[in-house]
A and B are shown apart, each in its own frame.
Chain A
Amino acid sequence: MVVAVILPRFSLSIAAGGRGALAAGPLALAPEPGRRPLVGEVSPVAEALGVVAGMKISEALARAPRLKLIAADPVAVADCWERVLLRLESVGAQVEDGGVGLACFEADGLWRIHGGSLDGVVAATRAALKLPARIGCGPSRFCAIVAAEQARSRRAAVINGAAQLAPAPAALLAHGPATAPLVEPLARFGITTLGQLAALPRGSVADRFGGPGITAWELAHGNGLPLRPRSPGQTIEETLTLTESASGPQLAAVLELLVDRLLARSELGGRTVRAATLSAKLVEGGTWRERVVFREALGDALRIRSALALRLALLPAPAESLRLAAEQLGPAAPPAEALFDDLQFRRAGRLSEAIGQLRALAGPQAALRVLLADPDSRIPERRAVLTPYER
């Protein structure tokens, strides 16, 4: 049995400063800087006035002139969502992250831990979350999600297969990235419930909608792929608060400093980095966040910087602070071999080894180098900083 947990309007409630703020009036999440001018999640009051997520700002304001746009805060949302996932994992669950606001896990292995029943698992989940959540259960992920959508905040709902799925709206297919584009064409065909979709011949659906159509048809029959739980990993992060707003070359120097500091952290223990997240607090308000998965696990500062610099160029406004987090760590980088016998290469290898030994003996501050952070600054002490030496 799969358990689905839905936290409705999660991003909006974080950006607005709490769920209590949502009742104050018509609110909507403003688009992130540099993105399309569409509103994000909307409050119940705004929804009652006809504003829906994904609507153009001009149309939303025409429908609700008193609509208040809240600046998106993707960094705070990601941090809070990570805490929610950790709370779910504290129950013993192997959690599949379905994106902000949705998480699923298999409950079968947890029954014995939590009183021998599904109710015990749900109660433990609710106690761990400490947040109002909609919880649903079903034999597949989709059944559980539909159940969670129909559940009330204090009582879990269960959907046992296709028969109980039938009256549910076909718009719930929007939960899957593959089936979301089918919601509108299905509605145009007059197919508004999952039961109507399930009643169609599989071949006809495949003929009209292709692969996504088959996926949607299988979901409407209560089938689905097994869950893909995330593997909880260690996260190491470094933050730099900038004394003044930075952009361009100054930001590149800050990135260099952050990468050096991250690689010098003793927790990393020489391991490589598979994925990293760059996030920034913007001067004009709001935050920015980009996740980078490297083509291979990297341990070389120069290559990490090169990969991250491309994303940093997407920063929509000057930043007040920049944060770099190594999210997934790979095995320790093997010593690289030179194709030819190169004296300079061997010397660099010996130097790197010596720095490692020095750090082991005297701590991370043992080997430093001068980094020109802002060489043209009028304030002399801002021109250069000492940073951990990395090769």
Chain B
Amino acid sequence: MTPTARAIGAPRELRVCASVGGQPLEVDGSEISAVRESWLVEDRWWTEQPLRRRYWEVVTVGGADIVVFRDLVGGRWFRHR
């Protein structure tokens, strides 16, 4: 059997309610109290599988600091930490 390398910190999908402008308002049922930062990552645009993500670092009402992103190609939301 061939042992394989596994990526650490693979994003996992989650449910997000967002405003019309794309800003997350609720993450997995937890309301967002503050948005700390937002940034765009575009990579591998020269390939057939481009990567476009809008990241948001947000704080929930419970005080958790989490990083989520919306996959701008597929349209789904994921959480990194």
Chain A residues close to B by CB (< 8 Å): 238, 240, 243-244, 257, 261, 264-266, 363-365, 368, 370-371, 378-388
Contacts and interface: CB of A to CB of B under 8 A. Distances in A.
B65 interface: no
- The size class of the interface chain B forms with chain A is 10 to 19
Contacts of A387: 5
Given A266-B1, A363-B1, A380 B80 contact: yes
Pairs of residues from A and B, 7 with the lowest C-beta to C-beta distance, nearest first: A364-B3, A385-B5, A386-B6, A384-B8, A381-B7, A264-B3, A388-B3
A319 B9 CA distance: 25
Contacts of A384: 7-9
Contacts of B6: 368, 385-386
Given A238-B2, A386-B5, A386-B6, 13 more contacts: A243-B44, A244-B44, A244-B47, A257-B5, A264-B3, A364-B1, A365-B3, A370-B8, A378-B41, A380-B81, A381-B80, A384-B8, A385-B5
A261 B9 contact: no
Contacts of B9: 380-381, 383-384
A247 to B, nearest CB: 16
B35 interface: no
Contacts of B43: 244, 378-379
Interface of B: 1-11, 41, 43-44, 47, 51, 80-81
A365 B6 CA distance: 10
Contacts of A368: 6
A371 B44 CA distance: 23
Contacts of A261: 2-5
A386 B7 CA distance: 6
A265 B41 contact: no
7 contacts: A265-B3, A380-B11, A380-B80, A382-B7, A384-B9, A385-B6, A385-B7
A363 B2 CA distance: 10
A266 B2 CA distance: 8
A265 B2 contact: yes
B4 to A, nearest CB: 8
Nearest to A254: B5
Contacts of A363: 1
Contacts of B5: 240, 257, 261, 371, 385-387
A379 B1 contact: no
A240 B4 CA distance: 10
Q: Which of B3, B4, B41, B80 has the most CB of A within 10 A?
A: B3
